[in-house]
Amino acid sequence: MGPPPKKRRVGLIVGIVGGGVGLIVIGGVVLALIGNAVGSGFPEAKNKLTLPKTLIDGRFELAQDLSDSEGQKIEDEADGAWDAKDIHAVVGQYSQGGDQTQGALVISGMYGRLKNTDRARRDMLKGATDADGVTLAAGPKDFTQSGEPTVSCEVLTQEKLGTTLTYPACVWADGNTGAIVAVMTAKTLHQDASEVDLGSYARLTRQVRTESVKPLG
């Protein structure tokens, strides 16, 4: 018998387009690997990822729900993946205080039944650096907290219109949900990568998870 067929694993990318602090999610990335047997070791589906009207105690307001457009690309890529089943994608763009010129937050994720969550986090971070014009400037770094899934963060830079934009991206993955969160503000957009406090963005990402993950039903 020959080698087993290559299976796909799910990854997500975040791209920054336009000027200022405009953020939009750009599809997904599929990476090839030799996978495990499909259908084994998947957790029970208990929770879902949602897009609340506000996030971070009302600091960010939902500006666009892109789940039906950009999210469909993620679902298409997840079809047949060896490490994900029953996947539903959720993609949202938030503006700071209702004003995108002041800041923005993008969450791009999915819910369903996920296994190998450590690998999923690494894939999502790698997917972010694969976006056009994006460079890894610092990290990735893992942040752990008792009783909570690990959050991994990195600092990305992207060239747009002759300007270098700097922003953090953090991810989590548990048995039911996984997402990458990117944040830009007018204040921090042009900071040096070494000045980005990844620990604070890891805490922010945990809060996003707390506010956006809800029980099924």
Q: What is the pLDDT of residues 33-67, one digit of tens each?
A: 223 334 457 889 999 999 999 999 999 999 989 88
CATH number of the domain that 187 lies in?
3.40.1000
24-33, 47-56, 96-105, 165-174 — which one is most confidently predicted on average? 47-56
Residue 201 in domain: yes
Contacts (Cβ under 8 Å, ≥6 apart) of 189: 21, 165, 166, 167
Rounded Cα gap, residues 36 and 160, in angstroms = 40
Residue 42 in domain: no
- Residue 180's alpha-carbon distances to 34, 38, 109, 125, in angstroms, are 24, 25, 6, 8
Say what percent of the chain tops pLDDT 70.
Answer: 78
Contact, 26 vs 17, CB < 8 A? yes
Domain that holds residue 191: 6-31+50-212
First to last CA, the chain: 45
User: Beta strands 103-114 and 148-160: pairing type?
Assistant: unpaired
> How many domains in the chain?
1
> Above 50 in pLDDT, residue 13?
no
Could you tell me which residue, 67 or 80, shows the higher pLDDT? 67
Residue 138 in domain: yes
- Of the pLDDT bands very low, low, confident and very high (cuts 50, 70, 90), residue 191 is confident
The confidence score (pLDDT) of residue 118 equals 87
> Above 90 in pLDDT, residue 23?
no
Residue 39 in domain: no
Residue 1 in domain: no
Tally Cβ neighbours within 10 Å of residue 103.
22
> Above 90 in pLDDT, residue 177?
yes
Rounded Cα gap, residues 73 and 58, in angstroms = 29
Residue 202 in domain: yes
Residue 118 in domain: yes
> Within 6-94, where are the H helices?
70-78
Average pLDDT of every residue of the chain: 79
Contact, 181 vs 208, CB < 8 A? yes
Residue 37 in domain: no
